[in-house]
Amino acid sequence: MSALQRIFSDIFFRRTGILACSSVFLLFLLGGLVRVTGSGMGCPDWPKCFGLLAPPTCDCQLPPNYMQVFLEKRIQKVNRFANTLEKLGWEKKAAEIRNNKDIFQPEPFNATKAWIEYINRLFGVLAGLFALLFWFFSFRFLNTLRKVFVFATLGFIALLLNAWLGSIVVATNLLPGIVSVHFMLSFSSIYLFMLALNSQSGFVFAPREKKKNTHWSILLLFSLIIVFLGTLARENVESLSLSGALAKDGILNWSAMGTSFALHRYMPVIFMVYAFWLWKSGKKSIPVQARAFGIVGCLAFCQIVLGAININYILPPVTQVFHIVLGASLPILIFYWRIAKPIEAE
């Protein structure tokens, strides 16, 4: 390969990597929109929607017994998934899935929800295409920077696994637990793609003390725990909403929200205080690094405000979407600063 070809190959590699990361992140926004609008089952089958390449515009385009037809297909897929879980030794989870009554509820057609879910899937396909191109261009580093190829390959596999898990989410009618795993697995794809990009030429960050890496690691772990608790709390909210026990007299039913919600509510305050403390303590010694900690603290404050609005106004859709997107952006931004190479040697 000539020098010019290597330059163009590197350019395409980095651009497709950035596009792969960006498109996966966009799925957090679209996924949040799907969640808050209740469109997760807008298409009862996968990868098609009501057996079509594009959603119908009205139920007049569907057979009279369409709900029963797609229900039977879903039950068959659920049984195959439960059988797989049993073979892996997860008999309890398999039994939970088989005994979940929600799985056996037919899904009526709703054009708005179908198209919201369908658009989410289209961008999922787009993310897959960018990831495939990124993986293809990573072959150039197979014999020179092997870890670039390894990270790109693992990221692509994680994305494919998450796409398959998305089909299981649909098949199990948004079964709690699986939805959370599906959400959290998205981070692994972005992280692996970022590691591949960083291994190839390196993200650049300001000079920092070696011990600051420990602070970034703590913030990263803290943020991922908060996000995971948020997914569990969200599943509990949906369950309470369906049963009519989410709120009483316009006030959120605190006693029914569970431990995950309580931790998700108060841990961000500790996270924010820690980030602002890092900002204050490093303003003179490493000002650029301190500003990064300050940005994290400000984003955490915004998250707390959005959470308060969600609680006091019983989950307005707009603030829910912003809460989900901002919550996803924090662990990604922190991870970037954690792995980025300093401008000067430590």
Q: According to the model, what pLDDT value does residue 164 have?
A: 85
Are both 171 and 46 inside the same structural domain?
yes
Is 191 found in the same domain as 253? no
DSSP character for 267? H
Q: What is the average pLDDT across 184-203?
A: 90
Q: Which residues of 15-51 are buried (b: 16+ CB within 10 A; e: fewer)?
A: ebbebbbebbbbbbbbbbbbbbbbbbbbbbbbeebbe
pLDDT the model gives residue 332: 95
Regarding predicted confidence, which is higher, 192 or 316? 192
The whole-number average pLDDT for the span 329-346 is: 81
Please report the pLDDT score of residue 51 as a whole number. Answer: 86
To the nearest 10 degrees (0 to 180), the angle between helices 178-200 and 3-37 is 160
Q: Are residues 4 and 153 in the same domain?
A: yes
Q: CA 339 to CA 321: how far, in whole Å?
A: 28
Claim to verify: residue 166 and residue 265 sit in the same structural domain: no
Do 82 and 124 lie in a common domain?
Answer: yes
Task: Select from 185, 202, 219 the last residue of a domain.
Answer: 202
Query: Do 209 and 320 reside in the same domain of the chain?
Result: yes
Q: Are residues 198 and 277 in the same domain?
A: no
According to the model, what pLDDT value does residue 202 have?
A: 77
Q: 144, 167, 202 — which closes off a domain?
A: 202
Measuring CA to CA, which residue among 197, 187, 110 is closest to residue 152?
197
**Res. 297 pLDDT band, cuts 50 70 90:** very high
Q: Are residues 189 and 310 in the same domain?
A: no
Both tokens assigned to 23: 């498109």
Tens of pLDDT along 87-108?
888 888 788 778 877 777 788 8
What residue spans of 253-286 are helical by DSSP H? 259-281
* Domain identity same for 164 and 215: no
What residues does 251 pair with on adjacent strands? 248
Residues 227, 216 share a domain: yes
- pLDDT (tens digit per residue) in 108-141: 899 999 999 999 989 999 999 999 999 999 998 8
Q: Which range (53-67, 187-201, 204-218, 220-234) has the least confidence?
A: 204-218
Mean pLDDT of 295-302: 96
How far is 155 from 192, CA to CA, in rounded Å?
A: 5
Q: Under DSSP, is residue 283 helix (H, G, I), strand (E, B) or coil?
A: coil
210: containing domain: 205-346
Q: Which of these three, 202, 224, 255, is where a domain ends?
A: 202
Q: Are residues 66 and 180 in the same domain?
A: yes
Distance CA 84, CA 182 (A): 17
How many distinct structural domains can be found in the chain?
A: 2
Residue 174: pLDDT above 70? no
Mean pLDDT across the chain: 85
pLDDT in tens, 24-58: 999 988 888 888 887 878 888 877 888 888 898 88
Residues 218 and 144 in one domain: no
Q: How confident is the model at residue 231 (pLDDT cuts 50, 70, 90)?
A: confident
**Looking at per-residue confidence, does 50 or 176 come out higher?**
50
Distance (Å, whole) CA 106 – CA 343: 57
- At 344, is the pLDDT very low, low, confident or very high (cuts 50, 70, 90)? low
